[in-house]
Amino acid sequence: MGATALLSSSALRVEPGGTVVFDVRVRNTGTVVDQFSFEVLGDAAAWAVADPPTVSLFPGADEVAHIRFNVPRSA
């Protein structure tokens, strides 16, 4: 398996109760069809949703996943 990933932003700012979205572009640099999953770790994981959560890519193909953070007002 080989892959590269590119984030649309290295930092995000959002107010409590707000929503922010950023993109992750993943490219399959391997030689076989492979599956890639998007998962947010850490304190903000409960606020995050990946769309799509998983992609299958042919060698050389890429796809963008949108990661949405819905920050609660109490944050």
Average pLDDT, the chain: 94
Token pair, residue 5, equals 């990933």
Predicted structure pTM score:
0.85
Task: Read off the pLDDT band of 10 (50, 70, 90).
Answer: confident
Give one DSSP letter per residue of the chain, joined into a string: --EEEEES-S-----TT-EEEEEEEEEE-SSS-EEEE----SGGGGGEEEESSEEEE-TT-EEEEEEEEE--TT-
Q: What residue ranges do the domains of the chain occupy? A: 3-70
pLDDT digits (tens, 9 = 90+) for 50-75: 999 999 999 999 999 999 999 999 98
